[in-house]
Amino acid sequence: MATRVPHLINGAWRHDAGSAPFPVTDPTSNQPLWEVASASADEINQAVASAKQAFQAWREVPVPERARLMLRYQHLLKQHHDELGALVAQETGKTIADAKGDVWRGIEVAEQAANVAALMMGETVENVARGVDTHSWVQPLGVCVGITPFNFPAMIPLWMFPMALACGNAFILKPSEQDPMTAVRLGELLLEAGAPKDILQIVHGRKEQVDQLITHPDVKAVSFVGSVPVGQHIYRTATDHMKRAQCFAGAKNHMVIMPDANPQQVVSQLVGASVGAAGQRCMAISVAVFVGNAREMIPALRDELAKVVPGHHSNAAAAYGPLISPQAKARVLKLIEAGKQEAECLLDGSDCMVPGYPDGNWVGPTLFRGVTAEMTIYKEEIFGPVLCCVEVESLDEALQLVNANPYGNGTSIFTRSGAAARKYQHEVEVGQVGINIPIPVPLPFFSFTGWKGSFYGDLHAYGKQGVRFYTETKTVTSRWPEDEIVETNMTISLK
Ligand code: NAD
């Protein structure tokens, strides 16, 4: 019998879930890895009730103690980095290097959470009026919920719960049903680090479980990372129920290549940024915008992409792994077919096979040229190893294209001109900008700052998914009449 992925409710790992289990499959073979069952309505209610109670005690735990838990957790995560990387590779099919990168980016956030005291500092102004002082405190919210996608099963849960917990909240994680075991291992390590048993709850499921969580009267805030339609549903539903909601959704990231850019650098960086992780990154470059003569780099780009070979994570030479599911592969193949009707296909990865893994969800590197903003392959987030080349005549035209796009997660410009780089970083309407860096993800002491349809809600916070999202600011204005001071004589005896 397949291993059942447990829920973590009220400090106990539970296997007795209500509904029929469904399989979690290995994307390199589509063979079952384990099975998972959605939490019942009763189990969700228990998780929320337990988290609510845990919050009352946890919020009173001194900040340095909460920070120390994060230090121990960060240490344990590092000790288990290889093991966690192997688990991520098993569930997602990512290469080991990619899977370990996923874990490492999460460890960095746990590290940042250990600095929580400094991040939670309030503000003070003395004498806001004569004899009147004001100070503000930063206080936790209560029960916070996180809904996470399949593509970074370690990093994205770790974006959320370490910071939320360090701030003094209780947290309920609903990880992706496509790779839920990584979250379970993250939870086990948190308990091993000495966390109170009930400040983190993990429940599995899909829409029904998510909807129950985001409408529950005792839930205060919802962080979501995932696709566009689900993000919109979650944002609308959660805010309708007066929750604080923060949504990271889809993306279409452009890299602008100026004619003066270093061609070798452009080609090698663009290959990794577009098809690395099979294009299943919200910061992947999916559109290359060649300005003027920069278009002469396209043949070399095609030749380099043609050399990229996906494979199983046990093969150290594999450049990337499979798509997460047969459904994801079918969707990407359909978009490639649409692209072939619309644009010039320079490289077609539709028939990709990996020896020894005939049933994996493989798609080879795919390159289109002559793509315009009206085409389906430009408008849709493909989320596969597919790169679209657009050709424009000027930097202004490139900026117009990028700024008209409904998403604004990441972008980059490759150029040797300081003036072009300055103009691009200043005028582009995208949250994370790279100059000669293709995937400009900031470290956790900066905000993750997607714009437009890629990141919305409450709040473009300070520090990744930051402290400001998981806390409430309270303003206290105080007056202390001087004539009420009682003088006391104290004798201090020294031995
Ligand atoms: P998804 O939207 O299918 O699933 C995300 C989560 O929502 C999962 O936990 C899932 O169980 C839940 N869910 C699915 N359907 C639901 C519904 N109808 N109602 C309520 N909950 C539902 O996303 P995915 O396929 O797992 O992840 C890929 C997507 O995530 C891509 O669009 C990618 O761009 C996006 N993403 C964005 C960022 C970012 O920072 N902007 C980061 C990573 C991934």
Q: Is 137 left (phi over 0), alpha (psi -120 to 50) or beta?
A: beta
Residues 434, 9: Cα–Cα separation, whole Å = 42
More confident residue, 24 or 122: 24
Atom 26 of ligand 1 has which residue's CA nearest to it? 149
Taking CA atoms only, the protein residue closest to ligand 1 atom 18 is: 207
Give the closest residue (by CA) to ligand 1 atom 43. Answer: 282
Whole-number pLDDT of residue 467: 66
Is the CB of 227 within 6 Å of ligand 1? Answer: yes
Report the pLDDT value the prediction gives residue 462, as an integer from 0 to 100: 47
- Any ligand 1 atom below 6 A from CB of 381: yes
What confidence tens digit (pLDDT) does each residue in 255-274 have? 999 999 999 999 999 999 99
Mean pLDDT (whole number) for 224-228: 95
What ligand 1 atom has the least distance to the C-alpha of 150?
A: 26
Q: Would you give the DSSP letter of residue 483? A: G
Task: Please work out whether the CB of residue 157 comes within 6 Å of at least one atom of ligand 1.
Answer: no
The token pair at 167 is: 């701030």
Rounded to whole angstroms, how far apart are CA atoms 360 and 310? 11
CA-CA-CA-CA dihedral for 225, 231, 234, 238, to nearest 10? 80
Question: What sign has the CA pseudo-torsion 272, 274, 279, 281?
Answer: positive
* Per-residue pLDDT at 444: 84
Residue 477 β-bridge partners: 134
Indicate which residue's Cα is closest to atom 17 of ligand 1. 207
Q: What is the pLDDT at residue 494?
A: 45
What is the per-residue pLDDT across 286-329, written as a single tens digit (0 to 9) for each? 999 999 999 999 999 999 999 999 999 999 999 999 999 999 99
Residue 464 has pLDDT above 70, yes or no: no
- Write down the residue that tokens 């019998």 correspond to: 1
- Output the average pLDDT for the chain: 92
Q: What is the rounded distance in angstroms from the CA atom of residue 46 to the CA atom of residue 33?
A: 28
How confident is residue 136, by pLDDT bands cut at 50, 70 and 90? confident
Dist. CA 91–CA 97, nearest whole Å: 14
Closest CA to 467 of 168, 183, 51: 168
Is residue 226 packed enough to be buried (19+ CB in 10 Å), middle (13-18) or exposed (0-12)? buried
Question: Is 50 exceeded by the pLDDT of residue 168?
Answer: yes
Angstrom distances, CA of residue 462 to CA of 245, 451, 467, 471? 16, 15, 6, 11
Q: From the CB of residue 313, how many other CB atoms can be counted at a distance below 10 Å?
A: 23
pLDDT digits (tens, 9 = 90+) for 420-460: 999 999 999 998 899 999 998 888 887 777 888 888 887 65
Going from the C-alpha of 321 to that of each of 263, 274, 280, 325, the distances in angstroms are: 27, 13, 10, 12
At 486, the pLDDT band (50, 70, 90 cuts) reads low
Helices and strands of the chain, counted as H and E runs? 15, 22
The arithmetic mean of pLDDT across residues 104-128, rounded, is 92
Position 218 pLDDT exceeds 90: yes
282 annotated active-site: yes
The DSSP annotation for 64-75 comes to HHHHHHHHHHHH
Residue 470 pLDDT greater than 70, yes or no: no
CA of 424 from ligand 1 middle (Å) equals 30
Most ligand 1 atoms within 8 A of CB, residue of 102, 210, 469 to mutate: 210
Burial class (CB in 10 A: 0-12, 13-18, 19+), 403: middle
**Ligand 1 centroid, distance to 127 Cα (angstroms):** 49
Please give the structure tokens belonging to residue 2. 């397949």
**Does the predicted model carry a pTM greater than 0.85?**
yes
Report pLDDT digits (tens) over 91-115: 999 999 999 999 999 999 999 999 9
CA separation for the pair 65, 173 (Å, rounded): 22
Region 329-357 average pLDDT: 97
The reported pLDDT for the residue numbered 311 is 98
Averaged pLDDT, 401-426 = 93
Which residue would you say has higher pLDDT here, 441 or 381?
381
Q: How confident is the model at residue 88 (pLDDT cuts 50, 70, 90)?
A: very high
Q: Do the beta carbons of residue 473 and residue 459 sit within 8 Å?
A: no
pLDDT tens string 170-206? 999 999 999 999 999 999 999 999 999 999 999 999 9
Helices 63-79 and 81-92: crossing angle in degrees, nearest 10, is 70
Take residue 493 and report the two structure tokens written for it: 């005896």
**Residue-wise pLDDT tens digits, 27-72:** 999 999 999 999 999 999 999 999 999 999 999 999 999 999 999 9
Asked if 386 and 378 count as a contact pair (C-beta separation under 8 A), the reply is no
